[in-house]
Amino acid sequence: MSSGMVYFVGAGPGDVDLITVKGKRALQQADVVIFDRLINPFLLTDVKDDAKLIYCGKQPCKHTLRQEDIQREILIHARKGKTVVRLKGGDPAVFGRVGEEAELLAEHQIDYEIIPGITAGIAATMYSGVPLTHRKHSNSFAIVTGHGSRDDGTPNINWNHLAKGVETIVFYMGVKHLKTITTELIKNGKAKETAALVVQWGTYSKQRTIEGSLATIANQVEQANITNPAIIVVGDVVKLRAKLAWFDNRALTGKSFLIPSKEEANKKLVASLTKQGADVFEHDLLTEESDHLKQEILQQLKLISSEHELVFLSSKSVSAFLKAIGEQGLDLREIYCPIFSIDEAVQSTLQMVGIQSRLVEEVHLTRPILVGGDIEVEDMKANFAGATKELILSTKKVAKKDMEAFTRLIDEQHVNTLLLTSCTEVSHFLKFLEITDVSKERVLEQVTVLCIGRDTSLLLKENKIPVDRYVEKADVTKIIKAFEKNLILAKES
Ligand code: SAH
């Protein structure tokens, strides 16, 4: 069998939009994705439903053994002819060991491409308002590891050359050894007043930045309890932050929203939340399946008679219905019964495909058939008195990649707010919990629940999900206000 293709892809430092277009395309095509601990897990929602995901949670200090396993995995899958993406945080070549991994592929004559990414040292500094070079302040920068091969983990660096030869220095993996780093730099000629900056979780909304000098930064960082992942920047350029800090301190800085389904109606809201500094993870956690229902659908379509009333529950149900008719080799004109829409939006969708319908509220229905996906039908059934029939066109499942992304977003604390903007979203979220066995308590322990609209809040209460923040409309100013209210909640601390 011909060997596959391996793409080494730089995922960027955190902000999901900082992956390259080329990298994203490779990710979407991958059969196998082998990903690191420091990538934003939301990127996984982009992969194919059936892609195999392999986590290689490299922990600091546990490189050696793991590295062999990773290389073996890449080889195994490439040899099976698969398209493999090796997804690495930041840039694959900056402390990312792409050299070793690609070398092995070259030895085995397996094709590969390396797609660069934005490295944390460049992105996190710029998101803190610090450009690495500046005509007046710095003509050079160096990227240096703060973790080294010595027994105590301190880096093996020619401190004298570093301190005297470069104007801006960026250390990776160095927080643990910050005291050693600053002491050595001072000892070797850098003034102790030289500005220094530490940025944790750079480019995420939860980015934290501590600014000081070589003399003070180690203590400041210890007090602020800043741990990895963080970079350290040393040099005069750090002072520019006073003018250029564009990312911090926006109204929603530090907030990260999970919206469990993607709806066109939320487009403006998502853009505004992001503009105000929040991370927004908006994704359909549920995927539709319809192939397994084909037989059943055919039988039900054949049973529709002129005495029935077909009720379309959503615009999607209209297209799914037409698709089913076509796939089954039937003709729409054979369906003789009157047609109804649940609301005006559905009515206009039907009109666009040449079907005139009446709104359900205008008539008393006697033999309705509810047309839609399983959740829609389940949710709507109670509104129709008497005997209803159902034409279920799809059921929901949770794709493995979405489960992986969701679990990691929660477990790695990338999400602190669950945003529910409609009853549909609530139903989808509840269905997600039901299908996956994810504990509702576990999720609620970590997130603040922000709800939009009265009906949404009633449905949440009915399902014993406490609403922590409430706004009437999808209005970003109101959302900001809702967070300002002095309702101090333990889990938000
Ligand atoms: N290849 C990666 C670096 C891997 S080494 C890149 O190009 O960015 C891991 C180190 O990168 C961490 O210890 C930390 O120093 C730094 N790092 C990665 N992501 C970061 C982030 N979002 N903010 C700050 N530092 C980060």
Domain range enclosing 384: 288-397
436 vs 62, residue with greater confidence: 436
The CATH number of the domain holding residue 437 is 3.40.50.10090
pLDDT (0 to 100) of residue 426: 96
Q: Please indicate, yes or no, whether residues 414 and 387 belong to a single structural domain of this protein.
A: no
Q: Is the pLDDT of residue 64 over 50?
A: no
CA distances from 398 to 83, 334, 380, 437 (A): 23, 35, 22, 11
Q: Is the pLDDT of residue 488 over 80?
A: no
How large is the average pLDDT for residues 465-488?
Answer: 87
Residue 491 lies in a domain: no
Q: Report the nearest atom of ligand 1 relative to the CA of 175.
A: 15
The binding-site residues of ligand 1, defined as CB within 6 angstroms of any ligand atom, are: 13-14, 38, 88-91, 94-96, 119-120, 124, 172-173, 199, 201-203, 228-231
- Residue nearest to ligand 1 atom 9, measured at CA: 173
Q: Please indicate, yes or no, whether residues 410 and 367 belong to a single structural domain of this protein.
A: no
Residue 489 lies in a domain: no
Least confident of 52-66, 97-111, 330-344, 421-435: 52-66
pLDDT (0 to 100) of residue 54: 94
How many angstroms does the Cα of residue 358 sit away from the middle of ligand 1? Answer: 58
- Residue nearest to ligand 1 atom 11, measured at CA: 172
How many angstroms does the Cα of residue 337 sit away from the middle of ligand 1? Answer: 62
Identify whether the C-beta of residue 257 lies closer than 8 Å to the C-beta of residue 278.
yes
Q: List, in sequence order, every residue forming a beta bridge with 287; answer none if it has no partner.
A: 397
Identity of the amino acid at 370: L
Last residue of a domain, one of 117, 133, 163: 117
Count how many residues are written for the chain: 493
Q: Report the nearest atom of ligand 1 relative to the CA of 96.
A: 1
- Residues above pLDDT 70, as percent of the chain: 96
Q: Please indicate, yes or no, whether residues 182 and 264 belong to a single structural domain of this protein.
A: no
Least confident of 342-356, 375-389, 431-445: 375-389
Identify whether the C-beta of residue 218 lies closer than 8 Å to the C-beta of residue 179.
yes
pLDDT (0 to 100) of residue 387: 74
Q: How many domains does the chain have?
A: 4
Q: Please indicate, yes or no, whether residues 407 and 263 belong to a single structural domain of this protein.
A: yes
pLDDT (0 to 100) of residue 313: 95
Mean pLDDT of the chain: 93
Q: List, in sequence order, every residue forming a beta bridge with 151; answer none if it has no partner.
A: none
How many angstroms does the Cα of residue 278 sit away from the middle of ligand 1? Answer: 21
Secondary structure of residue 394 in the 3-state scheme: strand
Last residue of a domain, one of 89, 117, 145: 117
Place of tokens 């610090």: 130
Residues 6 or more apart from 114 whose CB is under 8 A from it?
7, 8, 92, 93, 98, 102
Residue 406 lies in a domain: yes
pLDDT (0 to 100) of residue 472: 95
How many angstroms does the Cα of residue 190 sit away from the middle of ligand 1? Answer: 24
Identify whether the C-beta of residue 473 lies closer than 8 Å to the C-beta of residue 453.
yes
Q: Please indicate, yes or no, whether residues 439 and 326 belong to a single structural domain of this protein.
A: no
Q: Report the nearest atom of ligand 1 relative to the CA of 207.
A: 23
Residue 222 main-chain phi, psi, to 5 deg: -65, -45
Model confidence at 334, pLDDT cuts 50, 70, 90, reads: confident
Secondary structure of residue 275 in the 3-state scheme: helix
How many angstroms does the Cα of residue 224 sit away from the middle of ligand 1? Answer: 19
How large is the average pLDDT for residues 18-39?
Answer: 97
Mutate to test the pocket of ligand 1, among 172, 201, 207 (most ligand atoms within 8 A of CB): 172
pLDDT (0 to 100) of residue 345: 94
| Residue 92: cis peptide before it, omega within 30 degrees of 0 | no
Mutate to test the pocket of ligand 1, among 15, 203, 231 (most ligand atoms within 8 A of CB): 231
Q: Please indicate, yes or no, whether residues 407 and 429 belong to a single structural domain of this protein.
A: yes
pTM recorded for the entire structure? 0.90
Model confidence at 60, pLDDT cuts 50, 70, 90, reads: low
Q: Please indicate, yes or no, whether residues 373 and 272 belong to a single structural domain of this protein.
A: no
Residues 6 or more apart from 421 whose CB is under 8 A from it?
259, 263, 265, 266, 269, 452, 453, 456, 474
Q: Please indicate, yes or no, whether residues 174 and 107 belong to a single structural domain of this protein.
A: no
Burial code (b: 16+ CB inside 10 Å, e: under 16) for 173-207 equals bbbbbbebbbbbbbeeebeeebbbbbbbbbbbbbb
Residue 315 lies in a domain: yes
How many angstroms does the Cα of residue 129 sit away from the middle of ligand 1? Answer: 17
Q: What residues are annotated to the active site?
A: 36, 58, 173
Q: Report the nearest atom of ligand 1 relative to the CA of 202.
A: 23
Cα dihedral across residues 410, 412, 417, 422: positive or negative? negative
Mutate to test the pocket of ligand 1, among 8, 18, 35, 38 (most ligand atoms within 8 A of CB): 38
Q: Please indicate, yes or no, whether residues 416 and 392 belong to a single structural domain of this protein.
A: no
Last residue of a domain, one of 366, 397, 428: 397
How many angstroms does the Cα of residue 90 sit away from the middle of ligand 1? Answer: 7
Q: How many C-beta atoms lie closer than 10 Å to residue 110's C-beta?
A: 18
- Residue nearest to ligand 1 atom 25, measured at CA: 230
Residue 425 lies in a domain: yes
How large is the average pLDDT for residues 128-153?
Answer: 92
Residue 492 lies in a domain: no
Rounded-to-integer distance, Cα 183 and Cα 10, Å: 33
Model confidence at 150, pLDDT cuts 50, 70, 90, reads: confident
Give the N- to C-terminal CA distance of the chain in Å, as an integer: 55
pLDDT (0 to 100) of residue 233: 98
Model confidence at 151, pLDDT cuts 50, 70, 90, reads: confident
Mutate to test the pocket of ligand 1, among 37, 59, 63, 95 (most ligand atoms within 8 A of CB): 95
Q: Is the pLDDT of residue 458 over 70?
A: yes
Q: Is the pLDDT of residue 87 over 80?
A: yes
Q: Please indicate, yes or no, whether residues 50 and 111 belong to a single structural domain of this protein.
A: yes
Rounded-to-integer distance, Cα 207 and Cα 203, Å: 6
The CATH number of the domain holding residue 215 is 3.30.950.10
Q: Please indicate, yes or no, whether residues 311 and 362 belong to a single structural domain of this protein.
A: yes
pLDDT (0 to 100) of residue 155: 82
pLDDT (0 to 100) of residue 489: 43
Helix-then-strand count for the chain, H and E:
18, 21
pLDDT (0 to 100) of residue 59: 55
The CATH number of the domain holding residue 81 is 3.40.1010.10
Q: Please indicate, yes or no, whether residues 10 and 100 belong to a single structural domain of this protein.
A: yes
Burial code (b: 16+ CB inside 10 Å, e: under 16) for 376-412 equals bbebbeeeeeeebbbbbbbbbbbbebbbbbbebbbee
Residue 356 lies in a domain: yes
User: Which strand (E) or helix (H) includes residue 141?
Assistant: strand 141-145
Secondary structure of residue 62 in the 3-state scheme: coil
Residue 209 lies in a domain: yes
Least confident of 70-79, 222-231, 337-346, 384-393: 384-393
